[in-house]
A and B are shown apart, each in its own frame.
Chain A
Amino acid sequence: MNLEILLIAAFGGSFLTYFLGKFSHKVRDGFAVFISSALVVLVTFFYDKQVSINYYSGFFDLPFILRINTLSWFFAITIAGLGALSIAFSLSYMKERKGTNFYYLIMLLVNASMLGIVLSGDLVSFYIFWEIMSWTAFLLISYNRGPAIAAGMKYIVMSLAGSIFMLIGIFSLYANYGTFIIPEIGAGIASASSGFILFILIMFIIAFGIKNAVWPFHTWLPPAHSEAPSPFSAVLSGILIKMGSYGFLLIFYVIVGMNLFLGLGLGRFSFNYILCWVGAITIVIPTFTAMLQNDAKKLLAWHSIGQMGYIIIGISLGTSLGLAGGIFHFFNHALFKALLFLTVAAVEYRTRGVRDLNSLGGLVKKMPVTFIGVLVGALAIIGVPLTSGFVSKWLIYKTLILDGYSFLAFAAFIGTWGTLLSFYKLVHNMFLGQLPEKYKDVKKAPLSMQVPILILSGVILLFGILPGIPLKVINEIGTSFGFESLNVNIGGIASETGTLNTINILAVIAVAAILIWLFLRAGAKSRRVTQEDSYGAGLSVPTDKYHYTVEFYDPFSRMIKPYLRDVIDDFYNWIAKGAQKTFDHIRHLYTGDVGHYAIYIILFLAFLILASFGWFLL
């Protein structure tokens, strides 16, 4: 079986879905689910295969190479898996919307282009697939119209800026080595000067950093994530921005290579150490900004930025533990952030578009499955033991502490507590507390929403208890970059300086929990009461008179709010405004009067003549 089948199925399937939708929506829905799950199956077949095929090398010497290795396989399976789940979720979410044919077409195209990115073996096809991804994502972000248009505009402008930097990088590489093929560039760059490597790295870091929403390139992400249709938010946050992480891995460890990348810089202030600090800032500021948000999707969006920081630290630390932690955290973030967006989408769907944390509440009794999903997702993003998020964070912390990066570790830990506070707020304000009168009749999420939520929750718990399964693949990626192999076993990682054994932790908690449960059962029976029947010091607790979850962390938010103004965003807006004003002035040159244009031409000719005389005189 060949690699082109994957891309043909992905791209062909998306257009076919569109045309099927012209005839019947039922057939189209079925086919969309079928093609996206078929991609998962197809990708699994390529496990542990190393293929590289040159399809075409005629036109201007621009090759078209597809290749797969462990790194691309790992990303491809995540892309395909999340794609299938979000398409399945969309079935009921998009049912009553207009223009669904277009939605499915673009949704599948995004997936196809991301598969193309991870499968491409040369920088030209990489760039082409990257651009397809950028504009398809733009179409979906601004799908809802209204404020979504502005969000999409912000995204596409920043994306284009990133693409320009990437193009500069690609062409400087081509100018020096005369090739676009990734392994050949990697071979040629070994003899490059450190100045050139630094230049290349900065170009690509800006390009990938914008997509990856690394501080200070993060400003497009919060509006884009919150305005996009929710199943696409799951893809956008789960995997699309992580294409930036893939790009980082590609440029750091495949093109530039481990030794050159880690050797850059002076002493302790090496290049990768500075990158780690960028990661640390990316953790702390956005995580605490997230705590202040009252829109559920905006809260999740800010956390997407925050979690990217952990990935950046893990990837750029340059130790085998750190790299494993970074890549594992990428995978985990894809799982739990998709899960969280899907659960918020389910609530949004059932409450007819409400995602304001100040007005929801008490939904746990109405939507139990969704609650399980949001709880597992929240626990995983906090990194509670027995979820997969714990293992990846443990790896990153451990390498940070043992290598003496205490302050980076501090930033990472503080980020975790910020995450705990804001996710408790999310869970509490949506699902716990009093159920407002107007949500008395909320029904539980439809089956096509429950299944993706349950699958994702199951995978998170499975890999939290048996982290050895993904870590085996991740370890192979690390060794293919030239890192030391880790001692991975099914229940964790063994090493001399502190072993992690998740099965132990599970056993202890499970046994203790069962004993306490038995104790609870043994005592006098407890009486189930309604939410109105609660202690009010002799008075009854008023229902619906006031909502006490409003401004949940008020004393604290008032303290930190002044420090969290997004000055970066202000700065970009200032540039955008300035540019708009300048171009507005330039526009006045075009008066529409032929006489004026004639004068312009004469003035220009005069300038040319003068210039040539000047040249002559010199």
Chain B
Amino acid sequence: MIIKIVEIIAIPVLAFLVGIFFLGLSRRIMARIHWRYGPPITQPIIDIIRFSYQESVSHGVIFDLGIIFSLAASIAVVLFIPLGGMCALSSSGGLLVILYLMLLIPLGVALSSGEGANPNISIGISRKLILSLGYEVPLILILLTLMTRYGTISIADIVSQQGSGWTIFSVPLFMSGIAYFLILPAILEIRPFDMASAPQEISSGHKVEYGGKYLAIITIEHAFTLFIGLALFVDLFLGGASNPLFFFIKMLVVFILCIFINAVFPRFRIDQAIRYLWKWPTALALAGLIATSVMW
């Protein structure tokens, strides 16, 4: 019982620290690829502290509540994901609950920023939701493939059944693994899929009205989103890990690959993004699901 409680408190803190570290690291690596020096790796933490002391504006009650619920949902999702032997709540409903809680994250932000009454927000949110629909199609196919293959909806069971070999190297499922990696930049909202917050054309889209501590919360939430997308990939395809350290190392490797993509690709238009997401990743995921349905 006490171990459970410690885990419930420790996991979000760990997830936050890892996510923030990834954010800092990504800026650093990006800078080096661009032949710049780049900010210190602690820059996001410095930003968050600075933001929370700056003045901010609020557009109403939903403006405050939506963003709170969005971040609360991302913390809840983290608790349902097993992190290298630690899983606080993974028995309560499994992957389906994760899928549904993940849906609260964009919804909360959308409701909150929707009250901001700025044209950029409407455009940004519209893009964000369309993009979510875009990557959810292959993502759902991938998750269904895994649930069919392992005959469970519990993510902890999926991890433990990979003891004999990682999913990404098993025969029909490697297609799903590749498909997941192809949509990972969209899940993490990095280039070429950052059209929802495109800073140069729609002033960061849905984030435009956030300042001060709201911006701090949005940054924290971004860290959590990064963490969730990567942790799911490691759990589902790279066999999880026996302890948190190995888990984070696996996440780091995947993340660095994503940053390389982020650094060199230009931004898609939203319709191009949908067309891409519903073509190759979906085809691969579908092939994986059909093969799995036939074989199991």
Is B17 interfacial (CB 8 A cutoff)? no
CB-CB < 8 A to A558: which residues of B? Answer: 271
Q: Are A417 and B59 in contact (CB under 8 A)?
A: no
Query: Closest CB-CB distance, A129 to chain B, in whole Å?
Result: 39
With contacts A410-B140, A424-B110, A531-B59 taken as known, whether A508 is within 8 angstroms of B79 at the C-beta atoms is yes
Expressed in whole angstroms, the Cα–Cα distance for A570 and B159 within the complex equals 50
Closest to B148 in A: A406
Expressed in whole angstroms, the Cα–Cα distance for A505 and B147 within the complex equals 22
Expressed in whole angstroms, the Cα–Cα distance for A510 and B213 within the complex equals 20
Q: Are A428 and B137 in contact (CB under 8 A)?
A: no
Is A398 interfacial (CB 8 A cutoff)? yes
- Total A-B pairs, Cβ < 8 A: 227
Query: Closest CB-CB distance, B166 to chain A, in whole Å?
Result: 22
Expressed in whole angstroms, the Cα–Cα distance for A402 and B60 within the complex equals 44
In terms of DSSP, what is the predominant structure of the interface of chain A? Answer: helix
Closest to B208 in A: A535
Q: Are A364 and B58 in contact (CB under 8 A)?
A: no
CB-CB < 8 A to B73: which residues of A? Answer: 509
Q: Are A365 and B60 in contact (CB under 8 A)?
A: yes
Closest to A511 in B: B72
Contact of B68 among A427, A508, A517 (CB under 8 A): A517
Expressed in whole angstroms, the Cα–Cα distance for A365 and B62 within the complex equals 10
Expressed in whole angstroms, the Cα–Cα distance for A413 and B138 within the complex equals 11
Interface size on A, residues (CB 8 A): 73
With contacts A406-B144, A406-B148 taken as known, whether A418 is within 8 angstroms of B133 at the C-beta atoms is yes
Q: Are B111 and A432 in contact (CB under 8 A)?
A: yes
Expressed in whole angstroms, the Cα–Cα distance for A526 and B214 within the complex equals 9
Instruction: Mark the stretch among A109-117, A257-265, A494-502 that contacts chain B.
Output: A494-502
CB-CB < 8 A to B125: which residues of A? Answer: 424, 428
Closest to B293 in A: A406
CB-CB < 8 A to B141: which residues of A? Answer: 410
Closest to A397 in B: B96
CB-CB < 8 A to A362: which residues of B? Answer: 117
Q: Are B111 and A427 in contact (CB under 8 A)?
A: yes
Contact of A529 among B52, B57, B269 (CB under 8 A): B57
Contact of A417 among B89, B132, B214 (CB under 8 A): B132
Q: Are A520 and B101 in contact (CB under 8 A)?
A: no
Contact of B71 among A375, A407, A497, A516 (CB under 8 A): A516
Query: Closest CB-CB distance, B215 to chain A, in whole Å?
Result: 11
With contacts A428-B110, A505-B93, A508-B89 taken as known, whether A526 is within 8 angstroms of B119 at the C-beta atoms is no
From residue 415 to 448 of chain A, which have CB atoms closer than 8 A to chain B? Answer: 416-418, 420-421, 424, 427-428, 432-435
Contact of B212 among A365, A501, A523 (CB under 8 A): A523
Query: Closest CB-CB distance, B59 to chain A, in whole Å?
Result: 6
Expressed in whole angstroms, the Cα–Cα distance for A401 and B118 within the complex equals 42
Contact of B58 among A424, A510, A528, A536 (CB under 8 A): A528
With contacts A497-B152, A520-B217 taken as known, whether A413 is within 8 angstroms of B140 at the C-beta atoms is yes
Contact of A552 among B107, B126, B140, B289 (CB under 8 A): B126
Expressed in whole angstroms, the Cα–Cα distance for A112 and B270 within the complex equals 51
Q: How large is the interface on B (under 10, 10 to 19, 20 to 34, 35 or more residues)?
A: 35 or more
Is A527 interfacial (CB 8 A cutoff)? yes
From residue 277 to 296 of chain B, which have CB atoms closer than 8 A to chain A? Answer: 289, 292-293, 296
Contact of B104 among A365, A384, A413, A528 (CB under 8 A): A384
Contact of B62 among A383, A416, A432 (CB under 8 A): A432
Q: Are A402 and B151 in contact (CB under 8 A)?
A: yes
Query: Closest CB-CB distance, A346 to chain B, in whole Å?
Result: 18
From residue 87 to 115 of chain B, which have CB atoms closer than 8 A to chain A? Answer: 89, 91-94, 96-97, 99-101, 103-104, 107, 110-111, 114-115
Query: Closest CB-CB distance, A494 to chain B, in whole Å?
Result: 10
Q: Are A531 and B103 in contact (CB under 8 A)?
A: no
From residue 61 to 89 of chain B, which have CB atoms closer than 8 A to chain A? Answer: 62, 64, 68-69, 71-73, 75-76, 79, 89
In the complex, the 7 A-B pairs of residues with the closest C-beta atoms, listed nearest first: A432-B114, A512-B72, A523-B213, A531-B117, A523-B52, A513-B72, A526-B58
For this complex, 17 residue pairs linking A to B, each with C-beta atoms less than 8 Å apart, are A364-B62, A384-B100, A385-B100, A410-B289, A420-B129, A424-B129, A427-B111, A428-B122, A432-B62, A433-B117, A497-B152, A497-B153, A500-B93, A516-B72, A531-B117, A533-B57, A559-B275
Binding site for A on B (CB under 8 A): 8, 12, 52-60, 62, 64, 68-69, 71-73, 75-76, 79, 89, 91-94, 96-97, 99-101, 103-104, 107, 110-111, 114-120, 122-123, 125-126, 129-130, 132-133, 136-137, 140-141, 144-145, 147-148, 151-154, 203, 208-209, 212-214, 216-217, 269-271, 274-275, 289, 292-293, 296
Binding site for B on A (CB under 8 A): 362, 364-365, 371, 375, 382-385, 390, 394, 397-398, 401-402, 404, 406-407, 409-410, 413-414, 416-418, 420-421, 424, 427-428, 432-435, 497-501, 504-505, 508-510, 512-513, 516-517, 519-520, 522-524, 526-529, 531, 533-537, 541, 548-549, 552-556, 558-559
